[in-house]
Structure 1
């Protein structure tokens, strides 16, 4: 018989810049499957140069990117992280939302005038959406980069939270993971949410295209 237990845990996140009374913009950037925040955040250095503070939480589940046999042959011990899998997914979602809320509460002053952007890349797009509509954070813009809304999101809650937010879909024109079927799914979900995300494309594949970032400042 399965049982559950709650306990206090620790988690890490990365940050570029600091929040001062003069800071006007802050971005939370959520990485994709198999990535680590310490490397993912490097792609956003141009934001720091523009005076934007960047916070990159790291998913709670880490794993070796290659299996034991491949690691023995290659000597590659690279590690990545995942926000969730299909196994025990609802508990993982609940855990990472609590974790992201804790990062927000630790970093954001109680009274602030920050313009907050939440960006999710690939798998992080679904994570960012679920966190955004959880209702515990104030934000102005949601950017889905190389990803779409999660199909199981709560539509009624999503309509209420997203109705006055700026929504942007960013992707490479040669992204192999964003097929016609995925775009059709995104259009269906957008229609059911009563939103119309702005679409921004670049020549490239499944990656953060750093030259495109200034178009979002």
Structure 2
């Protein structure tokens, strides 16, 4: 038995830290990690939430409930792609994020600088989106990046526009060797991308730690 694809409209969700408008000077699209609730992800980005910066946190399309203790509040998490439906998920991902970005940016000043931030599997999702989509962006930040083995990383990176890329790794947490970023840095450079690797300490991220003060 082979599952057959069927196209239908569905409702996605996102968190907006700030509101689109004429006063916005920077827009960030931030993609969460595998199984990371949006509320937890937003808490990691608290230092970036300023009046002139709009943070958009899309949620992956495949939502599921996380196990919780009895009587605890149910928590929802999401994934960006499943191993047995990768091509369809990547197509849906690109369409979803392109449409969301177009809607948000239409409400902001024309030409506002755009940063895309991806965490964990969200880094792979960001790369696939930007390599195959139509969204204009100015720089790419990838934190503890993890590419599932089903995704051809080198082929994905070759498709990225020539924009500055910063890879971020923590000095205290490396849940997989890949998350250290060294191999990804080499692949980025081999693809002709201007990339750098920065190390940060554990805890909420700061603009200074990412080398993006004031952006």
Structure 1 residues 85 and 184: alpha-carbon distance in aligned structure 2, compared to 1, 3 A threshold: same
Unmatched segments (≥5 aa) in structure 1: none
Residue 11 of structure 1 aligns with which residue? 12
Selected match of 1:171 from 162, 169, 172: 169
Residue 137 of structure 1 aligns with which residue? 135
RMSD: 2.7
1:209 aligns with 2:205: yes
The 3-state SS of whatever aligns with 2:41 is: helix
Structure 2 Cα separation of the partners of residues 172 and 142 of structure 1: 17
Structure 2 Cα separation of the partners of residues 93 and 51 of structure 1: 32
Deviation at 1:139, TM superposition (A): 0.1
Deviation at 1:174, TM superposition (A): 2.0
In the TM superposition, what whole-angstrom CA distance separates every residue of 1:92-143 from its partner, at most 9, and x where no partner exists?
A: 1111111111111211118712100000001100001111112410000000
Aligned residue pairs, count:
208
1:162 aligns with 2:158: no
Q: Assess if the C-alpha contact under 8 Å between 1:170 and 1:199 holds in 2.
A: yes
Unmatched segments (≥5 aa) in structure 2: none
TM-score when normalising by structure 2: 0.83
The 3-state SS of whatever aligns with 2:83 is: coil
Q: Assess if the C-alpha contact under 8 Å between 1:149 and 1:186 holds in 2.
A: no
Structure with bigger helix share is 1
Deviation at 1:62, TM superposition (A): 1.4
The 3-state SS of whatever aligns with 2:84 is: coil
* 1:44-59 equivalences in 2 (<5 Å): 44-49=45-50, 51-59=52-60
